[in-house]
Structure 1
Amino acid sequence: MSHWSESEVDLIIPVYFEMLKKDLINQPYSKTEYRRSLLPLLPARSEGAIEFKHQNISAALMNLGLPYIKGYLPRQNYQQLLDEKVIEYLRGEVKIENTFKDYADRHTPLNKNPDFDKMLVPPPEYEEVKEPISHYTKRPIKINYLKREQYNAKLGYLGEELVCNYEKWDLTRQGKKDLADKIRWISKDEGDGAGFDILSKTVNGEDKYIEVKTTKLGIKTPFFFSKNEFEFSNRNSMNYYLYRIFDFEKQPKVFTKNGGLQNICQYTPVSYKGYF
């Protein structure tokens, strides 16, 4: 199938954003109805093609550091035109930034009775990401709201609390109640300087350094880490575990990866320090 034309992209983007505004405030809507409403306007495209393009729009927003529709997981390596049109739409809809801000700053109370049996899922499959180059002068929204959400202190606290409870449950069900009692919530008790959040134990009694990253968005949402966290993970790669919590507002899910951050994810330096 050929690339989407400019007129086709102009038709689908406003529909995506209409759904996104509802999605971010948890207002019910039907993705199927919106998708089918586009069929008469896009006679050359199937429902599957429309859904795929919605996932491309999610990727474009994610690459701009903005929230996306959780039900449309990002699909990368899309046409440059789409990136340009998303930016053009955002420039004309300046009030949408308030929706992004409210979403990033919102937190949901922790479910006191989570279903730990169903919480752990496999990590996402590797996907080579080639982000389109967007010059800073083109970006109508300067704040990275994905990063802002991650540094929402209350959301981060709740994610770490969930992992603490999960680790205690997991060790206890394996007959290691003595090890479960040794779990320490380091970032709560000692602050954020340790390079990890939770000191747990493996079933063999070895130390398990856990870093928790939490999002209300989907499994492929990027996360952010400090130089200290990066270096600690690589020095202690055998005992270091990333716990990535996603879909936190609905039914939280988590995947884990063991090893230094330089090996378990693709990463990009996003800030530098200059001095004289």
Structure 2
Amino acid sequence: MSESWSVIEVELTVADYFKMLVAELNGIAYNKSAYRRALLSFLDQRTESAVEKKRQNISAALVKLGQPYIKGYLPLFNYQQLVEEKVVEYLKDKPELELLFRSFANKEIQQRGQTNFEKLLEAAPEPEKVHEPQTPYIRKPIKVNYLEQEQKNHSLGMHGEELVMDWEKWNLKKEGKSRYADEVRWVSREEGDGLGYDILSKDLAGKDKFIEVKTTKLSKKTPIYFSKNELDFSVSNKEKFYLYRLFNFEKSPKMFIRQGALNQACLAEPINYRGYF
């Protein structure tokens, strides 16, 4: 068995992955193990572990292209160039997938039910160096970044910020700081989005906390998108700035927190340029 996967193996695995992704985005239950067992019979003596890693590689390629992926397969970026090429080919051959991605990004979030605040918080992942293959320029088959579009989803963002508001008040009261809970303010709703943060809270010593909330329906490894204004504010106020990252929001919300400037909380990648004349 060779180390590198063949063209046909990657094509089969990509097609298999997209069948599961379409089912997931349509809310249809499916069995990952059954898909994996069926796929293995067509591959060159690959192990189940190898198939799982290749599926994570496909998730990573979709993230690089700005598209949704299967939540259960966290992006793994050390993939062979062929993976990205075959994902791009598949998207070109299936232009109807963009309608599904658009629906995912723009879906209205219903009023959330009760959240168990005791189980909301998880440890923050450590930023990892992303190793992507040095691919030549590839014209993206889908021009819209639907991961970024999802983050801009108004109902998703509002429900995420509301949950953080409630959690902050609950946590302060739990820590015996009820007097600070009354001072928590939803500034992005009161004053708009231009301040560089969403919620003004207090730490346990009564000092200001500037909280930026980023919410996704996908996993904790989904990249966040932030403006220069948000970055500049976080750098200027890094001792008081906190990123609250909500994920898996639609099904069972979880959250991690990182303190400090945004370019310290994650591995920031510049994606836009400005040209002066």
**Alignment check: 8 A CA contact 1:217 1:247 kept:** yes
Is the 1:187–1:194 contact (alpha carbons within 8 Å) kept by the matching residues of 2?
Answer: yes
Is residue 7 of structure 2 the alignment partner of residue 12 of structure 1?
no
The alignment partner of 2:69 has SS state of coil
For 1:125, the equivalent position in structure 2 comes to: 126
Query: Deviation string for 1:116-135 (max 9, x for gaps)?
Result: 10110011133210234555
Alignment of 1:236-251 (within 5 A): 236-251=237-252
- Report what 1:33 is aligned to: 34
Q: Deviations over 1:87-135 (max 9, x none)?
A: 0111100100000000000132242310110110011133210234555
- Is residue 100 from structure 1 mapped to residue 101 from structure 2 by the alignment? yes
Q: Residue 135 and residue 153 in structure 1: after superposition, are their counterparts in 2 closer, same or farther (change >3 A)?
A: farther
Tell me the alpha carbon deviations over residues 183-230 of structure 1, each in whole angstroms, 9 at most, x when there is no partner: 000000000111100000111101000000000011110010011100
- Residues 1:59 and 2:43 are matched in the alignment: no
Percent identity at matched positions? 51
Name the structure 1 match of 2:207. 206
Distance apart, 1:42 and its partner CA = 1.3
Counterpart of 1:187, as a letter, is S
Question: Is residue 225 of structure 2 the alignment partner of residue 224 of structure 1?
Answer: yes
Q: Is 1:270 paired with 2:271?
A: yes
Q: Give the corresponding residue for 1:171.
A: 172
The question of whether the paired residues in 1 share the 8 Å contact of 2:188 and 2:195 is answered with yes
2:49 is matched with which residue?
48
- 1:107 and 1:34 map into 2 onto residues whose CA distance is 30
Question: Does structure 1 retain, via aligned residues, the 8 Å contact 2:88–2:140?
Answer: yes
Q: Distance in 2 between matches of 1:37 and 1:88?
A: 23
Asked whether the equivalents of residues 128 and 267 of structure 2 are also in contact (C-alpha less than 8 Å), the reply is no
Cα 1:112–1:11 change in 2 (3 A) is closer
Looking at structure 2, the residues matched to 84 and 110 of structure 1 have their Cα atoms a distance apart, in angstroms, of 40
2:84 is paired with a residue whose SS is helix
CA distance in 2 between partners of 1:73 and 1:142 (Å): 23
Partner of 1:256: 257
> For residues 145-170 of structure 1, what are the alpha-carbon distances to aligned partners after superposition, in whole Å with 9 as ceiling and x for unaligned?
00000011111111100100000000
Q: Secondary structure at the match of 2:219?
A: coil
CA distance in 1, matches of 2:250, 2:77: 25
Unaligned runs of 5+ in 2: none
TM-score normalized with structure 2 length = 0.96
Cα shift at 1:137 = 5.0
The match for 1:157 is 158
- Say whether the 8 Å CA contact 1:216–1:248 is kept in structure 2: yes
Q: Give the corresponding residue for 1:192.
A: 193
Question: Letter of the aligned partner of 1:252 in structure 2?
Answer: P
Question: What code does the residue aligned with 1:271 have?
Answer: N
Scaled by the length of structure 1, the TM-score of the pair is 0.97
d(CA) in 2 for partners of 1:42, 1:273: 47
Q: State the 4+ residue runs in structure 1 displaced beyond 4 angstroms.
A: 133-137
8 Å Cα contact 1:110/1:162 also seen in 2: no
| Partners of 2:223 and 2:132 in 1: CA distance | 13
Contact 1:105 1:149 in 2 (8 A): yes
Point out the more displaced range, 257-266 or 109-118: 109-118
Match of 1:147 in 2: 148
Q: What letter matches 2:15 in structure 1?
A: P
Counterpart-to-counterpart distance in 1, 2:111 and 2:33: 30
Equivalent-residue separation in structure 2 for 1:137 and 1:68 (angstroms): 19
TM-aligned CA deviation for residue 181 of structure 1: 0.4
Give, as a single letter, the amino acid of the residue that structure 2 aligns with 1:39. Answer: L
Write the distance in 1 (CA, Å) between the matches of 2:207 and 2:40: 57
The aligned amino acid for 1:109 is: Q
